[in-house]
Amino acid sequence: MVGVKQLEDDHLLAKSKQSKLPQFLEGIKVPLYHFGSQSLMDHKSFGEVSCISEDGDSILDTLLLSQWEDRVMKGIFRYDVTASEIKAVEGRKKFLAQLNEEWISDHFPKPGENETTFYQEDVFPFNFMKQHDELLFCVASSEQTNPELISSAVLPDNAFLIFINASPVEYGHVLLVPYLSNSFYQLLDANILEMAVRVAVEINNCCFRLFYDFSPDASHLHFQACYFPNPLAVELMPVDTIFGDLQSWMHISVVTDYSIKTLLLESNQKFKIMMEVLVNICYCLQELSILYSLLISDCGKKIFLFLQKSKDSSSLSAWECGGYFMYKSRSEFDECTEKTILKRLSSVSIDDDGFKAVKLLCCSIASKFGV
């Protein structure tokens, strides 16, 4: 097992290679949401949101949606995603398909694609003409007991920057980009993962999903998130617990009857330790050259781990692994079936022997953390 100390050392090494914050973001002011010092996820009442407005809504949820709608009114998005045609694919799995001829999968353009793109060491491009408006707000930790929303503040030293995705997959689609000391992260660690999950906890909206796709070629780390009004196919699948019992605070389960090999991690206590367990698992998968994606759902209570073969042109995004597929042509959209989707999922999945090894690895790591 890769120890926490090893992860910390690797994180320090990666920090020396971090890319700097683009100059156009320096000194600007945006809304700042501060988490309270008392972590919701280490309390027995995990999932109970402390930052609720007087009308009963989550302040963070309201902030995200209001800022996103403001950018809609300003015409920053490439299209109106709410006008896209969506269908439930006929069959038992409840897959969802969207027809969107304007969607592009790469939200970070490559050099030369757009002459108006701003580049900072070829690492984190933004549209030069809309650079400020693409940043909605940021979230950060604080020493205050209760969460706080500041309407206008300079970017703090350690935070998540929340940007729009100008080619949204669904309503409220955003990018969550962690940075420290004016640099972007390259390595996933437990603190970053906890902060991302905490966003889901405090948004407190069952439609909100967070995604993370590991890529060995990525020059920076980021999460994506959006709102899905209906459950994703993987969330409806039965599970078989392979680690943990009724007295355990954490469970690891296999998602059964699903074409891509998938594990589900759940916890309602000692959440920080669960983050350490998951990060150790992810680190080992990277060392084994196993591509993986994460889907965080149920207001942060469930984390699905999708396991794919080594990265190639056919690898799937986390929302595709979860059962939500985008089609750019009418013919592909009309012709998609449950059979063809199952084939796509199975074609990228690790094999049975590899999955058996990963399950043993996960249980071993969890047991060494005293789960």
- Considering 116-130, 138-152, 226-240, 270-284, the range whose residues carry the highest mean pLDDT is 226-240
pLDDT score of 44: 46
Mean pLDDT along residues 128-142: 77
How many whole angstroms separate alpha carbon 330 and alpha carbon 335? 8
Reported confidence tier of residue 150, pLDDT bands at 50, 70, 90: very high
How far is CA 92 from each of CA 237, 306, 333, rounded to the nearest angstrom? 10, 20, 18
Confidence check: pLDDT of 363 > 50 = yes
Task: Decide which of 356 and 109 is more confident.
Answer: 356
- DSSP class of residue 121 equals T
Q: What is the pLDDT of residues 183-211, one digit of tens each?
A: 677 778 888 999 999 999 999 999 999 99
pLDDT score of 265: 96
Confidence check: pLDDT of 255 > 90 = yes
pLDDT score of 180: 75
In the structure encoding, which two tokens stand for residue 124, read together? 């984190």
> Between β-strands 174-180 and 158-164, what pairing exists: parallel, antiparallel or unpaired?
antiparallel
Q: What is the mean pLDDT of the chain?
A: 83
How many whole angstroms separate alpha carbon 350 and alpha carbon 335? 27
Among 156, 211, 214, 213, residue whose Cα is nearest residue 25: 156
What are the CB-based long-range contacts (under 8 Å, 24+) for 340-345? Answer: 341/89, 341/93, 341/95, 342/93, 342/259, 343/259, 344/316, 344/320, 345/258, 345/259, 345/260, 345/316, 345/321
Q: State pTM to two decimals.
A: 0.87
Mean pLDDT along residues 47-70: 78
How far is CA 18 from each of CA 124, 175, 186, 239, 255, rounded to the nearest angstrom? 11, 18, 6, 39, 36
In the structure encoding, which two tokens stand for residue 307, read together? 């396991």
Reported confidence tier of residue 331, pLDDT bands at 50, 70, 90: very high
How many whole angstroms separate alpha carbon 97 and alpha carbon 326? 6
Reported confidence tier of residue 117, pLDDT bands at 50, 70, 90: very low
Q: What is the pLDDT of residues 258-278, one digit of tens each?
A: 999 999 999 877 778 889 999
Q: What is the pLDDT of residues 73-103, one digit of tens each?
A: 999 999 999 999 999 999 999 999 999 999 8
pLDDT score of 158: 84
